[in-house]
Amino acid sequence: MANPTSALSIRGLYVDRGAQPILHGLNLQLTGGRLAVLGRNGAGKSTLCLAIMGMLPVRSGSITLDGVELAGKPPHDIAAAGITLVPQGRRVFPSLTVDEHLRLMEGRRPGPWNAARVYRELPRLAERKTNYGNQLSGGEKQMLALGRALMTNPRLIVLDEPSEGLSPLIVEHLLQLIAECHREGTSILLVEQNMRAGLTAAAEVALMSGGVVSHTVSSETLQSDENLQHQYLGIATH
């Protein structure tokens, strides 16, 4: 039996980038512990992730975690509330070592994750402990971005396209670790263009286009509906 997970509720979210409106009254509910958000390039997925983390201003709307309003709060308050983001592109510092990245996050929130456990679960990082960010491969950077996020012992982890540019083997390893976090009670919001990764990670999928969530469907429904795949992910039907 999984531990109880936190509920994320987003209602009527409007977010702009510069003068351009990007999210247009987006609604999303994560109540079952794991939700994948799938959509094509430009659907607004990264904008959503950054807005949840307080890294883009919310024009209007509500973002709550277990009923506590977070919209309009700065990123450090949102991190303190237990949300962590694994950003698109990994954002690893070129001149910090693997170990320094992890130590930066040490002791932020109590919980089962510490550097020893990150090294145990991601042994490749232990081998690269003294290497600098700019010496890591794409897969190693993604492992570090995930390890660093886990060091904060999050209640909700938001992952923005973690599978981008990685081999299927590495993606599988990361998804296994994410599933383990979920079993321990962390809620997972996995944003992807890669349908396979999204379907593996969650039983429920929010389909995003044009800055809103248009449908929320089960992963079985998406898997069997080629029209939906074509419409939201641009996967060719035949």
- Contact positions vs ligand ATP (CB under 6 A): 17-18, 20, 22, 39, 41-47, 88, 193
CA atoms of 59 and 19, how far apart (whole Å)? 11
> How far, CA to CA in Å, does 10 sit from each of 20, 60, 64, 65?
21, 11, 7, 9
Smaller CB separation from ligand ATP, 111 or 138: 138
Q: In angstroms, give the least distance from the CB of 12 to ligand ATP.
A: 18
Q: Which is nearer to ligand ATP, 41 or 227 (CB)?
A: 41
Comparing CA positions, the residue from 158, 147, 167, 206 lying closest to residue 186 is: 158
Give whichever of 97 and 194 is closer to ligand ATP, judged by the CB atom: 194
Q: How far is the CB of 171 from ligand ATP (least distance, A)?
A: 16
Q: Whole-number minimum distance, CB 63 to ligand ATP, in Å?
A: 16
Which C-beta is closer to ligand ATP: that of 118 or that of 174? 174
The residues, any chain, with a CB within 8 Å of residue 114's CB and separated by 6 or more, are 106, 151
Q: Which of 136, 137, 158, 135 is nearest to 146 (CA)?
A: 158
The smaller minimum CB distance to ligand ATP, of residues 43 and 174, is found at 43
Tell me how far, at minimum, the Cβ of 208 lies from ligand ATP, in Å.
Answer: 7
Q: Which residues, listed in sequence order, are joined to residue 63 by a DSSP beta bridge? A: 10
Q: Give, for 69, the enclosing helix (H) or strand (E).
A: strand 68-69
The distance of closest approach from Cβ of residue 229 to ligand ATP in the complex, given in angstroms and rounded to an integer, is: 16
Measured from the CB of residue 77, what is the shortest distance to ligand ATP in angstroms? 22
Structure tokens given for 25: 């009254």
CA distance 78 to 72: 10
- Name the β-bridge partners of 64: 9, 69
Q: In this complex, which beta carbon is closest to ligand ATP, that of residue 138 or of residue 185?
A: 138
